[in-house]
Structure 1
């Protein structure tokens, strides 16, 4: 399946991008406050490369000796490459992951041998524990002010760590039980040289682990990994089931076993090949007001209390890199990653809802607020059944407030096609389903209640059986033979595009 090399660390991936002309070094001094954001977004919207800022400028005018790497996954091709794939291989890899989750029974020796790639992937989830690691070449005193942490937007409350992979485990687990670990990408606000605010929402794994430690009345060990390898970054960002550990799953994405090392001051295993790790503790009930910060909605979020992490150590490579990103109204780097994850998740969705032919989460709709689904429709009411199944399938879809279901002759990723289906196959009085007081991302300021909002499902499919009492119109289409001949004629005359 993999056609690209294994990337054991961030540097290997950067070397690969540079060999392809996909990395640009910026020697100019660029302030981490606001100006770096402007450069990142301008480059991303021009389809630009990975950026390496060689002379980031901290507040006060001091130049940091730590280069800042941004826009790592600002193009679909680089997101796929982080998975070891070309873009056209992503759907096939999604089908493989779906089979890995629910493998079919083995039928004979030949079938068993054909599944060796699946077995190899399963073995890749078993980590290798090292005694020494690059990420611990230097152990520094906790001083987060020395890091080139961005202040992305003018209304932001302060420095914000934007690509942290936060490692936690539940109370009652052992450090060696990595299958019980959770990796999450949570916003981390710097509020002092040895203090961070970790913004994890209540439904996320890190928050669930924190509750388990709080119930026991004990502080929770936490590690914030900066500059992890691509597979670890993408595994932490994937909406995996709660029973799947992102740390072990990263081995499947990487195509090689994860390498871990015991943290210095907290009882956790951490990625050995990362650039930096911030270690510390979250004490029960200790919170601080987080925000406001610019978010993926294109608005600043409200100020709310979130847990404080007391930093106990910072370890890093001798010449570390600082990985950063910017979140805002799409297009941004998270929305590009979301587009690829859309294709990766489609086979998993089809395994649960077989009639689904395609699903598109428009990036402009904050990557998940709207979904368009094409189905192979066979019976009345099928579109509504698909809506209910999708809303209840994964926690992430509970935040999708508009679903549009179309037939499989409609390109679900083409707004013109979808608009035609809406205008010719949907009646507002019959084909719109409204739900009230359902779970919603509290960052949705349009919702009347924080965390609760309505949902709308629109059936823009052809109506069949008892769904209509009228004869349905026939879609116009030319004979394919004539279409082919027309293309040949125009090509001969040099008129084809």
Structure 2
């Protein structure tokens, strides 16, 4: 009866959020069958004084624990820690492979060079970090109907729509004296999560090399929001090796969500991401050196053909061996003057790449625009055309972020003729029902202008 989540300063981050969300929760559960622990980070929407939604997506370990509890006819005990050693915050987000007897607590202890001090929950049989600022304890009843959760301005830069998730009942709330409430903000990249992703890149590169020893480096550019874009550099020794690496990476844990994989040679830096992409285009002949696949995608991917299932694109930007058709002469160009088009609001070129934004009014409009643009002389020296909606800024970062979020490659990638050869076209405009797309299309995250004005007016007061 004394539990009151309203006493916590839980944030409503964005104007269209469905309510306040815990955004840095360390969620602890135990496998009902094996006793294996899991420490994960899943957003939690506060529903009332004593309950929250638990955003356990389809592929998450917490959800598997709940499904096992349901089969056994049990409630699932849950503990949620807020704060404590920052290494735990990272470990909860890390793509740790399922190793028996190894949990995120072990990873955190390894990273800090000392064990994590744990205490026993006061009302649940679960360990909790002894240094946590707050601990919420309780249960989820798998027989209870799920509750509506969302919308939420997510790390994709778009709002996740309302969906059904389990209800977490809080039976105890403990805290340190003078506790500090931790939170993070996610949205259009780069945000804080981009740096957690980069930490995982570095930490898991040695493990990746154990499986794929030819990998020199890889990078998940912030514009790809972790699962939309991967650059990988490899030591190429035989034909088709870039595809072998791509297939191998797609079979590794959360890398299965990758939507676009760009392979380059060992001497090409994988970051910045845009520079690596431009270098890949020098050696990737659209059609011959691009491959469409199909597989699982992130639950948050709003553009996929179906929930958690969609297309993938591999771009082989390595130098081609004779067996692969050899190199095709190509001189990347960026023309100073671009052809006017009645439906193009703005456009820009970089060497080998063309970006254009349009006001979409009818189905298949993007392909018609692409055909007109590529028939112009200014398609010479271009191998990739990116199309986006008119509110997209023509910077490499925003253009790639927007397009990669809004494509299912199997549906939205086409190879079309340019004046000098084939061009890969990605239609990153919003999809219409008349185009066969019947899922909800989300709003892009934008801050309330009044809030922005308030922040701008108080910079001096912040001392920043």
- After TM superposition, the score normalised by the length of structure 1 is 0.64
Deviations 1:142-162 (A, max 9, x none): 100010000000001111000
1:216 to 48, 72, 82: 72
Match of 2:421 in 1: none
2:319 to 446, 462, 471: 462
Deviation at 1:231, TM superposition (A): 1.9
**How many angstroms apart in 1 are the aligned matches of 2:41 and 2:89?**
8
Deviations 1:231-284 (A, max 9, x none): 221111111012231123221112111211111111112111111100001001
Match of 1:412 in 2: 270
| 8 Å Cα contact 1:402/1:455 also seen in 2 | yes
**How many angstroms apart in 1 are the aligned matches of 2:273 and 2:221?**
10
2:188 to 320, 329, 332: 329
* Residues 173 and 378 of structure 1: CA distance in aligned 2, closer, same or farther (over 3 Å): closer
| 8 Å Cα contact 2:283/2:328 also seen in 1 | no
Match of 1:380 in 2: 239
**How many angstroms apart in 2 are the aligned matches of 1:354 and 1:143?**
52
Q: Gaps spanning 5+ residues in structure 1: where?
A: 1-139, 175-179, 474-497
**How many angstroms apart in 1 are the aligned matches of 2:197 and 2:47?**
30
| 8 Å Cα contact 2:220/2:226 also seen in 1 | yes
1:297 to 156, 173, 184: 156
Match of 2:130 in 1: 272
* Residues 388 and 165 of structure 1: CA distance in aligned 2, closer, same or farther (over 3 Å): same
Match of 1:362 in 2: 221
Q: Which has a greater percent of helix?
A: 1
Relative contact order: is structure 1 or structure 2 higher (C-alpha 8 Å, sep ≥ 6)?
A: 1
* Residues 459 and 308 of structure 1: CA distance in aligned 2, closer, same or farther (over 3 Å): same
Match of 1:149 in 2: 10
Deviation at 1:416, TM superposition (A): 5.7
Match of 2:170 in 1: 311
Is residue 237 from structure 1 mapped to residue 93 from structure 2 by the alignment? yes
| 8 Å Cα contact 2:320/2:327 also seen in 1 | no
* Residues 468 and 182 of structure 1: CA distance in aligned 2, closer, same or farther (over 3 Å): same
Q: Gaps spanning 5+ residues in structure 2: where?
A: 331-464
Moved over 2 A (4+): 414-424, 469-473
Deviation at 1:415, TM superposition (A): 4.5
Equivalent pairs, count: 328
* Residues 173 and 346 of structure 1: CA distance in aligned 2, closer, same or farther (over 3 Å): closer
- After TM superposition, the score normalised by the length of structure 2 is 0.68
**How many angstroms apart in 1 are the aligned matches of 2:34 and 2:271?**
44
* Residues 470 and 249 of structure 1: CA distance in aligned 2, closer, same or farther (over 3 Å): closer
Deviations 1:174-199 (A, max 9, x none): 6xxxxx11000000110111011110
Is residue 424 from structure 1 mapped to residue 282 from structure 2 by the alignment? yes
* Residues 416 and 315 of structure 1: CA distance in aligned 2, closer, same or farther (over 3 Å): closer
Matches within 5 A, 1:73-222: 141-173=2-34, 180-222=36-78
Matches within 5 A, 1:257-268: 257-268=115-126
* Residues 469 and 338 of structure 1: CA distance in aligned 2, closer, same or farther (over 3 Å): closer
Deviation at 1:470, TM superposition (A): 6.6
